[in-house]
């Protein structure tokens, strides 16, 4: 420190003082004049040295701050300020990390809020959906069985391959009837906006389909939860479908025909109606997320199976989100096809 340093130098004895005492002890008479002269020189040197030390001390005092206490306080406060700066930096890094994570999550999971341009009203929406359900039931339950009976056979009398072909033709007829109804009801609104019933290979929709596939285990888990909540009644007869019968028989032709029905036909027809028409139409009256939920509920109800309601609703939400993000029916159709194929392969085990 400056004060102790100057204090030590001021009390330091001159190095030439012992020389003065030695001259005082020797009393040679022949050199009195030289002795007095030497004493004066020594005294002058000692005075000059003292003056030099004083000047050096005064200069050091002038260069040093007048009050050292603020300096000590500043030194004591320095670690706190450094700690505060480090805390601010760490907080800033944390905020940057959170904002980056949110941007990445939005890029991956965010559903666009932009609605479709809907030229028709709720009356047209209700008309299309009721006619589609009626045609689906009427064609599958009345027209095709009547034509088969008129031809002299029934589905139950056919072989596994015949039953598979019968199911394929029935599904094709139901799907085509729904497309005709949709076309007729919307014909007065042609030409439709460019974002309606869009099929495209462009874009990043493959990534959305991959994310949707990651939800398949959860859909499968919800199937078991639904069965636990609504188990089959003991009095309900256990029936084996024609698909399961052909799988147990290991008929390759029949299984190939059923694979086309399950993985191609059903996804195409259902996605055109529920994701291609119903979901975008609902955005005229509600947000996109609400439209996804309502269309998913309608999708589940259209299967007429209470034991599969929860997984079908969740699957509809996933496919609706994929479609809303990509605005591409090809994406939801492919995801639907992959799920049905997954179920079909699971039945073959």
Alpha carbon distance 118, 15 (integer Å): 107
Name the pLDDT band for 88 (thresholds 50, 70, 90).
low
Least confident of 7-16, 63-72, 110-119, 202-211: 7-16
Name the pLDDT band for 167 (thresholds 50, 70, 90).
very high
Residue 11 pLDDT more than 60?
A: no
Burial class (CB in 10 A: 0-12, 13-18, 19+), 205: buried
- Positive or negative, the CA dihedral 51, 55, 57, 61 is positive
Rounded to 5°, angle at Cα 29 from 25 and 35: 60
Name the pLDDT band for 246 (thresholds 50, 70, 90).
confident
Name the pLDDT band for 326 (thresholds 50, 70, 90).
very high
Name the pLDDT band for 247 (thresholds 50, 70, 90).
confident
Name the pLDDT band for 39 (thresholds 50, 70, 90).
very low
pTM > 0.95: no
Q: What one-character DSSP code corresponds to residue 277? A: I
Q: Tell me, what's the pLDDT at 153?
A: 87
For the chain, the average pLDDT equals: 78
Measured from the Cβ of residue 243, the count of other Cβ atoms closer than 10 Å reads 21
Name the pLDDT band for 235 (thresholds 50, 70, 90).
low
Mean pLDDT for the stretch of residues 204-213: 92
Residue 78 pLDDT more than 80?
A: no
Name the pLDDT band for 8 (thresholds 50, 70, 90).
very low
Alpha carbon distance 258, 341 (integer Å): 10
Check residues 10 and 79 and name the one with the higher pLDDT: 79
Helices vs. strands in the chain: H and E counts, helices first: 16, 0
Name the pLDDT band for 130 (thresholds 50, 70, 90).
very high
> What residue segments make up the domains of the chain, in order of their start?
2-24+32-63, 122-347
Q: Give the rounded distance of the alpha carbon of 324 from its chain centre.
A: 16
Measured from the Cβ of residue 282, the count of other Cβ atoms closer than 10 Å reads 23
Name the pLDDT band for 54 (thresholds 50, 70, 90).
very low
Alpha carbon distance 308, 293 (integer Å): 16
Alpha carbon distance 44, 38 (integer Å): 10
**pLDDT over 70, % of the chain:** 66
CA dihedral 298, 208, 328, 266 (to 10 degrees): -50
Least confident of 96-105, 170-179, 299-308: 96-105
Instruction: Copy the structure tokens of residue 79.
Output: 């670690």
């Amino acid at each position: 420190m400056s004060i102790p340093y100057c204090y030590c130098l001021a009390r330091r004895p001159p190095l030439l003082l012992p020389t003065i005492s030695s001259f005082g002890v020797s009393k040679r008479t022949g050199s009195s004049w030289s002795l007095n002269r030497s004493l004066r020189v020594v005294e002058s040197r000692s005075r000059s040295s003292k003056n030099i030390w004083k000047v050096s001390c005064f200069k050091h005092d002038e260069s040093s701050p007048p009050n050292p206490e603020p300096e000590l306080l500043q030194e004591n406060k320095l670690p706190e300020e450094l700690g505060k700066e480090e805390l601010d930096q760490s907080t800033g890094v944390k905020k940057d990390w959170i904002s980056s994570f949110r941007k990445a999550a939005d890029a991956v999971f965010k559903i666009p809020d932009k609605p479709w341009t809907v030229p028709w009203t709720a009356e047209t929406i209700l008309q299309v959906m009721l006619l589609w359900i009626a045609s689906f039931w009427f064609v599958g339950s009345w027209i095709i069985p009547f034509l088969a009976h008129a031809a002299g056979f029934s589905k139950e009398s056919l072989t596994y391959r015949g039953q598979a072909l019968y199911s394929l033709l029935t599904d094709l007829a139901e799907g085509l009837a729904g497309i005709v109804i949709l076309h007729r009801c919307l014909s007065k609104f042609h030409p439709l906006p460019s974002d309606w019933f869009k099929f495209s290979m462009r874009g990043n929709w493959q990534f959305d389909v991959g994310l949707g596939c990651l939800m398949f285990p959860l859909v499968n888990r919800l199937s078991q939860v639904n069965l636990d909540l609504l188990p089959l009644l003991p009095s309900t007869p256990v029936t084996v479908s024609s698909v399961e019968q052909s799988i147990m028989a290991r008929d390759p032709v029949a299984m190939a025909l059923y694979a086309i029905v399950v993985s191609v036909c059903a996804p195409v027809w259902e996605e055109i109606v529920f994701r291609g028409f119903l979901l975008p139409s609902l955005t005229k009256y509600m947000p996109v997320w609400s439209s996804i939920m309502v269309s998913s509920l309608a999708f589940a109800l259209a299967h007429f199976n209470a034991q599969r309601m929860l997984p079908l609703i969740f699957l509809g939400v996933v496919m609706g989100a994929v479609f809303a993000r990509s605005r591409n029916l090809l994406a939801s159709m492919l995801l639907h096809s992959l799920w049905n194929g997954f179920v079909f392969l699971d039945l073959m085990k």
